[in-house]
Amino acid sequence: MIACPHCEALAKHFTLISGNTFGARLWTDGKMIAPMLPEPPPFVQCHQCRHFYWLSDARKVGLIPVMTEGTTGFPDDWLNAPYVQEPSEDAYYQALSEQVAETLDEEKFLRVLALWKRNDSMRDLTGSGSVEMQPLSDQAKQNLETLVSLLDESHPDEGLLKAEVLRELGQFDEARQTLQRVSSDDYQAIVQVLLFLCDQGDTMVREIG
């Protein structure tokens, strides 16, 4: 149970004592979805005042063991508190325009979260091949272009993400050039996947192996 740093409204989230990444699925944009390790959103929008905050900045009010129906012995406002809400894609852009991010790292992370949120609607979770490409809105495009300018290629993971963002923008030549500069051996398999997708002229987020 946490309290919004702006208005003290209560919200709850799951904390797993233990979990694992069994069955985890990794995507070209760097997002990993691990069904056995569900994690609360790191950045949330308050259900009451609609302001944004980092979950790590929220005051912890208390802990309720796994809630089941009929759980008693806790204050009503605890039991009735809604779960923390991840912002919508549009709300992420709003947060970015309000300059909620206080450091460069926070801004990069927020822009990645916005990218992931946009891509969530295009992840082919069932492998049906029928997921449709969403048009790139002006705000989404601006987010991706700013992210490209902020990512630091001296960190191989950021170089890889930069190439992916360029690919999603349809800037395949720039994406290829960026991939050629990713020298870390650990990433060569993913580099090959991204090069292949560039050759295909593919801008969709894709699952990696």
- Interface contacts to Zn ion, rule CB under 5 A: 4, 6-7, 9, 46, 48-49
For Zn ion, give the closer residue by CB, 3 or 195.
3
| CB of 17 closer than 8 Å to CB of 63 | no
For Zn ion, give the closer residue by CB, 52 or 172.
52
CB of 118 to Zn ion, least distance (A): 25
- Structure-block tokens of residue 186: 């650990």
CB of 123 to Zn ion, least distance (A): 30
- Structure-block tokens of residue 57: 């900045």
CB of 58 to Zn ion, least distance (A): 10
For Zn ion, give the closer residue by CB, 53 or 93.
53
- Structure-block tokens of residue 8: 């003290």
Give the separation between CA 66 and CA 147, rounded to whole angstroms: 38
CB of 53 to Zn ion, least distance (A): 8
Nearest to 95, CA basis, from 175, 195, 6, 194: 6
Give the separation between CA 53 and CA 4, rounded to whole angstroms: 8
For Zn ion, give the closer residue by CB, 3 or 150.
3
As to burial, measured by CB atoms within 10 angstroms (0-12 exposed, 13-18 middle, 19+ buried), residue 12 is buried
| CB of 135 closer than 8 Å to CB of 171 | no
Output the CA–CA distances (angstroms, integers) from residue 147 to 49, 90, 150, in the order listed: 28, 16, 5
Nearest to 115, CA basis, from 30, 207, 208, 51: 30
For Zn ion, give the closer residue by CB, 48 or 200.
48
CB of 6 to Zn ion, least distance (A): 4
Give the separation between CA 155 and CA 167, rounded to whole angstroms: 19
For Zn ion, give the closer residue by CB, 6 or 176.
6
CB of 44 to Zn ion, least distance (A): 10
